[in-house]
Amino acid sequence: MARNVTNTRKWVFTILAWGVALIIFFPILWTILTSFKSEADAVATPPKLLFFNWTLENYHEVQARSDYFGHFLNSVIISLGSTALGLLIAIPAAWAMAFQPGKRTKDVLMWMLSTKMMPAVGVLIPIYILFQRLGLLDSRIGVLCVLMLMNLPIIIWMLYTYFREIPGEILEASRMDGASLWNEILYVLTPMAIPGIASTMLLNIILAWNEAFWTLNLTTSQAAPLTTFIASYSSPEGLFYAKLSAASTMAIAPILIMGWFSQKQLVRGLTFGAVK
């Protein structure tokens, strides 16, 4: 009897969950479908869902017109690079603040968050001019540094929160067993911190991948990532939805695939409760 109840319950929730998921995913599904339509079909009324002339012309056009792999490479370098650099700086800081909290740790944390309060539009031109003087315009390093600095507060915050989860008793136990500071970090802390670090890393890669304000304004051609690639498809006069959909599909495909494979990591790492 109990088994049946569980099964029915499972099916009910499955249907509900799948229904909600499909509704949420629908706009993206629509974009992917539109990428296979002609421009005329893309704006047709009533909107065509599945029955239209499927064509690859948009993908051909996108491939011919712009350098997808060049942009892709730039996106990868910029997002991975800024995240790696950020983690390098943030891990020691978050560790220190989590395990040796001072009187002013809270204030420092809040101040770090407040550095993100400045709207980018207000500070755009000063930064642009600064970059110009330093010769950093259209360079991967330049954009990388900006994105790293933008996300550093978030990285520190998230790591701090994870590290706070790690129970102090384990550390004290290892200390009492005579482990040195270095051993403590390497053999006790790191294994427990890896899930947290991994998910922070993934989150930041995604944020950097989608960052569209600084990447559009500080790059021209050499360092232009996929956000520029997509933006170049918006046309002032002339229909472009199908081509834009194709470009967008090509841009989100890699990150969707990456997200699929790293799901477990992403989910497992974000533990905000007890660490068993």
Partner 1 sequence: MNTTFRSLLGACAVSALALPVAAETTLTIATVNNGDMIRMQKLTDAFTSAHPDIKLQWVTLEENILRQRVTTDIATKGGQYDVVTVGNYEVPIWAKQNWLLPLNDLPADYDADDLVPAVRKALSVDGTLYAAPFYAESAMVMYRKDLVEKAGVTIPESPTWTQIFTAAKAMTDKSGEVYGICLRGKAGWGENMAFLTAMANSYGASWFGMDWKPQFDQPEWKATLSDYVQVMAESGPPGASTNGFNENLALFQQGKCGIWIDATVAAGFVTDPKESKVADQVGFAQFPNKEGVDNHGNWLWSWNLGIPASTKKAEAAKEFVAWATSKGYTDLVASKEGWRAAPPGTRTSLYENPEYQKDAPFAQLTLTSINAVTPDHPSVKETPYTGAQFVSIPEFQAIGTAVGQQFSAAIAGQMKPDQALTSAQQLTTREMTRAGYIK
Partner 2 sequence: MATQHQRSLARLMVAPSVGLLLLWMIVPLGMTLWFSFQRYNLLMPGMVEFTGFDNYRYFLSDPGFWISLKNTLIMVAGILAITVLGGTALAILIDQPIFGQGYVRILMIAPFFIMPTVSALVWKNMFMNPVNGLLGQVSRAFGLQPVDWLAQYPLFSIVLIVSWQWLPFATLIFLTSLQSLDREQVEAAEMDGAGVWARFTNLTIPHMGRAITVVVLIETIFLLSVFAEILVTTNGGPGYQTTTLTYLVYTQALLQFDVGGASAGGIVAVILANIVAFFLMRMIGKTLD
Binding residues (CB under 8 A) for partner 1: these are: 38-40, 43-45, 64-66, 125, 128-129, 132, 137-138, 216-217, 220-221, 224, 228, 231-240
228 binds, among partner 1, partner 2, none (CB under 5 to 8 A by kind): partner 1
Q: How far apart are CA 37 and CA 103, in angstroms?
A: 61
Q: How far apart are CA 44 and CA 34, in angstroms?
A: 11
Q: What's the Rg (C-alpha) of the chain?
A: 24
The least distance separating partner 2 from the CB of residue 224, rounded to whole angstroms, comes to: 14
Task: Tell me the CA end-to-end span of the chain in Å, nearest whole number.
Answer: 33
Question: For 74-187, where are the E strands, in sequence order?
Answer: none
For partner 1, the closer CB: 197 or 224? 224
The least distance separating partner 1 from the CB of residue 121, rounded to whole angstroms, comes to: 10
237 binds, among partner 1, partner 2, none (CB under 5 to 8 A by kind): partner 1
Contact between 259 and 252 (Cβ < 8 Å): no
Contact between 245 and 32 (Cβ < 8 Å): yes
For partner 2, the closer CB: 110 or 141? 110
The least distance separating partner 2 from the CB of residue 69, rounded to whole angstroms, comes to: 18
114 binds, among partner 2, partner 1, none (CB under 5 to 8 A by kind): partner 2
For partner 2, the closer CB: 190 or 263? 263
Burial of residue 16, with CB atoms counted within 10 A of its CB: 0-12 exposed, 13-18 middle, 19 or more buried: exposed
75 binds, among partner 2, partner 1, none (CB under 5 to 8 A by kind): none
